[in-house]
């Protein structure tokens, strides 16, 4: 059985985890600011790849700052 951190997350789960809307997750993914991979037409994310991006910022990203390009992931 895989542990929770190695399991792939959906866009919805990532949006909930990062406290942002799903559209923002899609935008950040397309801009290569969130590590992701595609299975068919579905984006999937590994928490173990997302956590270091967040930690490198020092705190949880603010959706407004991400939208304005003020924070690089």
Domain ranges of the chain: 8-67
What would the pLDDT profile of 30-51 be if each residue is shown by its tens digit?
998 899 999 999 999 999 999 8
Hey, what CATH class is 8-67 in? mainly alpha
Give yes or no for residue 66 having a pLDDT over 60: no
What would the pLDDT profile of 4-24 be if each residue is shown by its tens digit?
556 899 999 999 999 999 999
The helix or strand, by DSSP H or E, that contains position 43, with its residue range, turns out to be: strand 42-46
Residue 8 to residue 65: CA distance in whole angstroms: 26
Residue spans of beta strands (DSSP E) within the chain: 8-9, 37-39, 42-46
Residue 7 to residue 39: CA distance in whole angstroms: 14
- What pLDDT score was predicted for residue 1? 47
Record the pTM: 0.68
Phi and psi torsions of 43, nearest 5°: -80, 135
């Amino acid at each position: 059985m895989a542990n929770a951190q190695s399991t792939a997350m959906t866009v919805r789960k990532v949006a909930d985890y990062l406290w942002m809307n799903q559209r923002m997750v899609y935008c950040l993914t397309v801009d290569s600011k969130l590590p992701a991979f595609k299975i068919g037409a579905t984006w999937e994310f590994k928490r173990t790849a997302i956590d270091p991006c967040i930690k490198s910022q020092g705190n949880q990203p603010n959706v407004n700052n991400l939208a304005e390009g003020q924070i690089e992931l």
